[in-house]
Amino acid sequence: MTSPILITGRGVVSAIGRNKAETLDALLNNRSGVGPLVYLKTEHKEFPVGEVKMSNEEMRKHLNINDKDITTRTALMGMMALDEALKDARLTTDMLPEVGFISGTTVGGMDMSEQYYLDYISNDNHKEYIKVHDCGSCSEMTAEHFGKFAFMTTLSTACSSAANAIILGANMLRRGEAEIVVVGGSECITKFHLNGFNSLMILDTKPCRPFDATRAGLNLGEGAAYLVLETEESAKRRGVKAQAILSGYGNACDAFHQTASSPDGEGAYRAMKEALELADIQPSEIGYINAHGTGTPNNDLSESHAVMRLFGDNVPPMSSTKPFTGHTTSASGSIEAVFCILALQHGFLPANLNWSQPMDDGIVPVHQSVKKELKHVLCNAFGFGGNDSSLLISRAKVPATVEGPTQHNGTSTSSATVYILSAKQISVQQPLCEDWMMQPIEYQAYFNRSIDPSFKEYISPIEARRMGKILKRALATSKEALKASGLNSVDAIITGTGYGCIENTEIFLDALSKEGEQMLSPTYFMQSTHNTISSLVAIQLKNHGYNVTYAHKGISFDSALQDAWLQMQLGKIHSALVGGHDEMTETFYNILKKGGVMGQDKEMCGEAAVSVVLGTEKHDSLCKLVNFKMLHKPSAETLKVIAKDFQADYILTGISGNHKSDEAYLTECKELFGSSILLKYKHLFGESFTSSGIGLYVAAQCLKAGNIPAHLFVNKDEIKGKKPSKILIFNHTDGNNYSLTLLEA
pLDDT tens digits, one per residue of 299-330: 999 999 999 999 999 999 999 999 999 999 99
- 162 lies in some domain: yes
Q: pLDDT class for 734, splitting at 50, 70, 90?
A: confident
State which of 363, 395, 427 marks the end of a domain: 395
408 is a domain residue: no
126 is catalytic: no
| Pairing status of strand 244-253 against strand 387-395 | antiparallel
409 vs 221, higher pLDDT: 221
- Name 739's bridge partners: 630, 731
Q: Does residue 404 carry a pLDDT above 80?
A: no
Of 332, 362, 395, which residue is a domain's last? 395
- Domain-located, residue 551: yes
Q: Are residues 113 and 183 in the same domain?
A: yes
What is the C-alpha separation between 711 and 203, in angstroms, rounded?
Answer: 55
pLDDT in tens, 543-562: 999 999 999 999 999 999 99
- Give bridge partners of residue 61 from the DSSP assignment: none
pLDDT of residue 519: 87
Question: In sequence order, which residues have a C-beta less than 8 Å from that of residue 626 and are 6 or more positions away?
Answer: 414, 418, 726, 742, 743, 744
Q: Given a cut of 60, is residue 408 above it in pLDDT?
A: no
User: Residue 410's pLDDT is what?
Assistant: 36
Give, to the nearest 10 degrees, the angle between helix 161-175 and helix 332-346.
Answer: 70
Residue 400 has what pLDDT?
35
Tell me the average pLDDT across 270-280: 96
| 602 found inside a domain | yes
The answer to whether residue 733 scores a pLDDT higher than 90 is no
Does 405 score more than 70 pLDDT? no
Q: Are 95 and 63 in a shared domain?
A: yes
Instruction: Output the pLDDT for position 385.
Output: 79
Helix axes 332-346, 20-28, angle to 10 degrees: 70
545 in a structural domain: yes
356 shares its domain with 463: no
Residues 80, 39 share a domain: yes
Residue 64 resides in a domain: yes
- Examine the domain organization and report whether 155 and 120 are in the same domain: yes
Catalytic residue chosen out of the listed positions 193, 327, 530, 632: 327
Q: Are residues 371 and 451 located together in one domain of the fold?
A: no
Residues 83 and 192 both lie in one domain: yes
∠ CA 368-372-374, rounded to 5°: 125
Q: Is 311 within 8 Å of 283 (Cβ atoms)?
A: yes
* CATH code of the domain covering residue 60: 3.40.47.10
What's the confidence (pLDDT) of residue 260?
A: 78
Q: How many domains does the chain have?
A: 2
Catalytic residue among 292, 305, 552, 732: 292
- In terms of Cβ atoms closer than 10 Å to its own Cβ (0-12, 13-18, 19+), residue 629 is buried
d(CA 655, CA 681) in angstroms, rounded, equals 8
Output b/e per residue, 554-589; b: 16+ Cβ within 10 A.
bbbbbbbbbbbbbbbbeebbbbbbbbbbbbbbeebb
For residue 410, being part of any structural domain is answered with no
- For helices 110-122 and 502-515, angle between their N-to-C axes, nearest 10 degrees: 80
Label each residue of 572-592 as H, E or C: CCCEEEEEEEECCCHHHHHHH
Domain boundary, last residue among 395, 427, 457: 395
**Model confidence at 646: pLDDT above 90:** yes
Are residues 434 and 370 part of one domain?
no
Radius of gyration of the CA atoms of the chain, in A: 24
Instruction: Give 721's pLDDT tier (boundaries 50, 70, 90).
Output: confident
44 is catalytic: no
Burial bucket for residue 655 (CB in 10 Å: 0-12, 13-18, 19+): buried
For the CA atoms of 45, 48, 53, 55, the dihedral, rounded to the nearest 10 degrees, stands at -30
Tell me the C-alpha distance between 359 and 354, whole Å: 13
Domain co-membership, 381 together with 447: no
Q: What is the pLDDT of residues 518-541, one digit of tens each?
A: 989 998 998 888 999 999 999 999
What are the pLDDT digits (tens) for 352-367?
Answer: 999 999 999 889 999 9
Q: How far apart are CA 560 and CA 255, in angstroms?
A: 19
pTM of the model: 0.96
Measured distance CA(430)–CA(202) in Å, rounded: 43
**pLDDT at position 2, please?**
64
For residue 358, give the 3-state DSSP assignment: strand
292 is catalytic: yes
Residue 311 and residue 184 share a domain: yes
| pLDDT tens digits, 248-266 | 999 999 988 877 788 888 9
Q: What is the pLDDT of residue 409?
A: 35
Residue range(s) defining the domain that contains residue 531: 418-744
pLDDT score for 317 = 97
Q: Is the dihedral of CA 61, 67, 69, 75 positive or negative?
A: positive
- How many degrees, rounded to 5, is the angle at CA 575 between CA 570 and CA 577? 120
- Predicted local distance difference test score (pLDDT) of residue 259: 73
What are the DSSP E strand ranges found in 341-470? 348-349, 370-371, 376-383, 387-395, 418-426
- Percentage of the chain with pLDDT > 90? 90
If asked whether residues 486 and 573 sit together in one domain, one would say: yes
> In the predicted model, what is the mean pLDDT of the chain?
94
Q: What is the pLDDT of residues 651-662, one digit of tens each?
A: 999 999 999 999
Q: Is residue 409, in this structure, part of any structural domain at all?
A: no
C-alpha span between 339 and 71 (Å, rounded): 28
8 Å CB contact between 358 and 213: yes
N- to C-terminal Cα separation, the chain: 37
pLDDT at 413 over 50: no
For the residues 102-113, what does the mean pLDDT come to? 96
441, 356: one domain:
no
State the catalytic residue, choosing from 159, 253, 669, 702: 159
Q: Which pLDDT tens digit goes with each residue over 7-53?
A: 999 999 999 999 999 999 999 999 999 999 999 999 999 999 999 99
